[in-house]
């Protein structure tokens, strides 16, 4: 067999003969790789006859010494080295890769979608939503973020990432989280044709979607976690059929569940439509044209956290059925997300949670309990707010500047340190380590109560929680709101139109002490 080959007689010192494999097929895939050369592959699709002509003329740095007319390339290899038909059959519809183990290369047949061993590990899962599935992928894009996912619904693709600050921010009474949602023109294969060629500020619809993402996520965030968190949600592809807003809510919930943020529960979002008296989960844009309901929902596997939408005069029973349908869909999505989190989720930063001391809640209630109940009974909004602010300043001054002393300690006897003396005999003589039994030693022990000081931020957080607790107790148990209304009583509503003489249109809406005005001028 060696006589049938034509040796390569002139090669540069750094090069070596290239291992060659040719499969018997009408249009084979030829891969050439050398263990001494950089990692690259050369693929050519051609027949043996055309491959014969591809070798001539030879490159300047390679000279092939051919004593006579070169035979076909498949004649250079012995029959034992020609790929059998079984291996050749595997190459159709798949790609051949050469793995280098030391100085030897091995051909591995793998599916076209399989990632290489040196590439990033990608995790994916298909989740049933309504009458179709959504594809969730993570691990291959945004690897430096705390977590990132790509959710595909049809040909609509939404990318969402969660990033955290390296150091915690100053303690505050809210979770430092920001949400940014953007629908790029390139997602629909378009580009800006105006003066501004780049994406501008967020449009009104995008701001509303940001709020839809923020609303269900914020209640699941733990108190005492002060690392600034940013959620970026971008629409990479839009097919005009599957809406990206409900997909963006689910993508944000998945990314938050996979990240280090110690959120309490996983959230997901769906849209519910009603067509021909049948509820549809995540309807298409064509279906929404005939839908009598547009209900956006988000929640966990056990509760609904956000509902927004409108309907065409549906009954309360129909709306309750729509909510139940959405809850079932959200529950199934959350269960699938939990399985993905167990596979590739990151460890939660539970140790970073910094909560106020437990005894601070009792101290705030002891100081402001009676006055807080009276302040919450003030009907007018402004006087009630001023009374609560004054009470809060009082509590902060006592607990952070003066120090707290419990009522029990104040009622007990207090003695000055000057009254507690240590009786000592100046002529006391200690012999053989013994002390006269008549000598009495009394150590000065202070009976003055110890004043406890707390940080101002912790006091503000606790006072806000205690105020909410007292207000909720008044509404649930006392069945009275702060303004005196019962739990089922509405505020007085008043509307006026045409209150401005020169404007094209004007209106004023009043509900209790809340007012909304609207002016419209004609161009």
Domains parsed from the chain with CATH numbers: 121-352 (3.30.230.70), 356-405+454-489 (1.10.10.400), 490-522 (no CATH)
Between CA 398 and CA 481 the distance in angstroms is: 29
Task: Please indicate whether residue 76 or residue 200 has the higher confidence score (pLDDT).
Answer: 200
pLDDT tens column, 44-88: 334 444 444 444 444 444 444 444 444 443 344 444 433 444 333
Q: Which residue has the tokens 């263990």?
A: 35
When mean pLDDT is compared across 13-27, 185-199, 250-264, 469-483, the lowest value belongs to: 13-27
Could you report the per-residue pLDDT of 473-499, keeping only the tens digit for each? 888 888 888 888 888 888 999 999 988
Q: State how far the Cα of 81 lies from the Cα of 487, in Å rounded to an integer.
A: 86
**Per-residue pLDDT tens over the stretch 427-463:** 444 455 555 555 555 555 555 556 778 888 888 889 9
Q: What is the pLDDT of residue 197?
A: 66
- Report the pLDDT value the prediction gives residue 449, as an integer from 0 to 100: 59
Residue 448's pLDDT is 58
149 closest CA partner among 266, 52, 20, 281: 266
Average the pLDDT over 196-203 and give the result: 74
- pLDDT value for 467: 92
Indicate whether 163 pLDDT > 90.
yes
Q: Please report which confidence band the pLDDT of residue 307 belongs to, taking 50, 70 and 90 as the band edges.
A: very high
Mean pLDDT, rounded, for 376-403: 89
pTM: 0.65
pLDDT of residue 188: 80
Is residue 304 very low, low, confident or very high in pLDDT (cuts 50, 70, 90)? very high
pLDDT of 432 reads: 53
How high is the pLDDT of residue 170? Answer: 84
Q: What is the DSSP letter of 121?
A: -
Residue 331 phi/psi, 5-degree rounding, is: -65, -40
Are 268 and 250 in contact, with CB atoms under 8 Å apart?
Answer: yes
* Chain segment 408-430, per-residue pLDDT in tens: 554 444 444 344 444 444 444 44
> pLDDT-derived band of residue 122, with 50, 70 and 90 as boundaries?
confident
Higher local confidence (pLDDT), 30 or 259: 259
**Residue 93 reports pLDDT greater than 50:** no
Token representation of residue 216: 């269900």
Q: Give me the mean pLDDT over the 382-391 stretch.
A: 93
Strand runs labelled E in 194-287: 229-237, 268-275, 278-281
Report the DSSP beta bridge partners of residue 123: 138
Region 160-189: what's the mean pLDDT?
A: 88
Least confident among 104-108, 394-398, 483-487 = 104-108
Among residues 222, 301, 231, 224, the alpha carbon closest in space to that of 262 is found at 222
Q: How does residue 333 score in pLDDT terms, banded at 50, 70 and 90?
A: very high
For 108, the enclosing helix (H) or strand (E) is: strand 104-110
- Residue 207: pLDDT band (50, 70, 90) is very high
The mean pLDDT value of the chain amounts to 75
Helix 244-258 with 316-344: angle, nearest 10 deg: 40
b/e per residue 35-48 (b: at least 16 CB within 10 A): eeeeeeeeeeeeee
Q: Which two tokens stand for residue 147?
A: 């977590």
Find, among 76, 54, 104, the residue nearest to 8 by Cα.
76
**Of 349, 138, 396, 357, the residue nearest 253 (C-alpha):** 138
Among all chains, which residue has been given the structure tokens 């944000």?
A: 252
Do you know the residue count of the chain? 523
The CA angle 291-295-297, to the nearest 5 degrees, is 150
Chain centroid offset of residue 70 CA: 63
413/410 Cα distance (integer angstroms): 8
Helix segments in 275-357, DSSP class H: 285-288, 316-344
Q: Is the pLDDT of residue 406 over 80?
A: no
Specify whether the backbone of 339 is left (phi greater than 0), alpha (psi in -120 to 50) or beta: alpha
242 pLDDT band, cuts 50/70/90, is: very high
Q: Report which listed range, 97-106, 184-193, 198-207, 506-515, is most confident.
A: 506-515
Please tell me which residue, 10 or 494, carries the higher pLDDT value.
494
pLDDT of residue 522: 55
pLDDT value for 450 = 65
Q: Mean pLDDT lowest for which of 154-158, 264-268, 402-406?
A: 402-406
- CA 297, 250, 272: angle at the middle one, nearest 5? 30
User: Alpha-carbon distance 259 to 162, whole Å?
Assistant: 7
Residues 183-200, mean pLDDT to the nearest whole number: 75
239: left (phi over 0), alpha (psi -120 to 50) or beta: alpha
Residue 203 φ then ψ, to 5° = -80, 165
Which parts of 274-421 fold into alpha helices (H)?
285-288, 316-344, 358-375, 381-397, 407-411
Asked if pLDDT for residue 332 goes beyond 60, the answer is: yes
Best-predicted range by mean pLDDT (31-35, 385-389, 488-492): 385-389
């Amino acid at each position: 067999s060696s006589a049938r080959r034509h040796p390569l007689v002139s090669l540069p010192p750094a090069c070596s003969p290239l291992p060659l494999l040719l499969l018997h097929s009408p249009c084979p895939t030829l891969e050439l790789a050398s263990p001494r050369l950089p990692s690259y592959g050369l693929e050519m699709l051609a027949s043996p006859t055309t491959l014969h002509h591809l070798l001539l003329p030879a490159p300047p740095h390679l000279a092939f010494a051919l004593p006579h007319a070169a035979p076909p390339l498949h004649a250079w290899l012995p029959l034992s080295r020609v790929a059998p038909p079984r291996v050749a059959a595997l190459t159709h519809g798949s790609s051949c890769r050469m793995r280098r183990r030391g100085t030897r290369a091995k051909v591995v047949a793998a599916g076209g979608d399989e990632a290489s061993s040196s590439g990033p590990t990608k995790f994916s899962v298909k989740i049933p939503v309504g009458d179709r599935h959504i594809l969730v992928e993570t691990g291959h894009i945004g690897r430096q973020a705390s977590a990132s996912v790509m959710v595909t619904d049809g040909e609509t693709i939404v990318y969402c990432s969660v990033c955290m600050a390296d150091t915690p921010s100053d303690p505050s009474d809210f979770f430092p989280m920001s949400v940014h949602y953007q629908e790029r023109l390139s997602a629909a294969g378009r580009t800006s044709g105006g003066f501004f060629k780049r994406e501008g500020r967020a449009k009104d619809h995008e701001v509303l979607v940001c709020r839809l993402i923020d609303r269900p996520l914020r209640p699941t965030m733990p108190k005492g976690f002060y690392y600034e968190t940013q959620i970026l949600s971008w629409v990479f592809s839009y097919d005009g059929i599957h809406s990206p807003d409900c997909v963006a809510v689910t993508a944000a919930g998945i990314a938050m569940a996979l990240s280090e943020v110690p959120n309490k529960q996983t959230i997901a979002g769906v849209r519910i439509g009603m067509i021909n008296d049948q509820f549809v989960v995540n309807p298409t844009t064509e279906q929404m044209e005939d839908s009598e309901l547009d209900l956006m929902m988000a929640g966990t596997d056990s509760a609904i956290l956000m509902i927004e939408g409108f309907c065409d005069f549906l009954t309360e029973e129909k709306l309750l059925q729509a909510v139940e349908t959405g809850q079932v869909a959200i529950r199934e999505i959350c269960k699938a997300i939990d399985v993905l989190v167990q596979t590739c989720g990151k460890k939660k930063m539970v140790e970073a949670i910094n909560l106020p001391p437990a005894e601070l809640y009792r101290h705030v209630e002891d100081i402001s309990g009676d006055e807080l109940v009276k302040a919450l009974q003030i009907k007018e909004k402004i006087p009630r707010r001023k009374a609560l602010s004054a009470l809060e300043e009082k509590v902060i001054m006592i607990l952070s500047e003066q120090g707290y002393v419990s009522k029990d300690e104040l009622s007990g006897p207090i003695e000055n340190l000057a009254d507690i003396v240590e009786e000592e005999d100046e002529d006391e003589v200690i012999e053989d380590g013994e002390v006269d039994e008549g000598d009495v030693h009394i150590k000065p022990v202070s009976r003055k109560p110890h004043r406890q000081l707390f940080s101002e931020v912790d006091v503000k957080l606790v006072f806000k929680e205690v105020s909410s607790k007292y207000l909720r107790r008044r509404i649930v148990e006392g069945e009275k709101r702060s303004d005196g209304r019962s739990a089922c009583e509405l505020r007085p509503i008043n509307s006026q139109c045409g209150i401005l003489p020169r404007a094209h249109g004007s209106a004023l809406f009043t509900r209790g002490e809340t007012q909304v005005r609207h002016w419209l001028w004609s161009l």
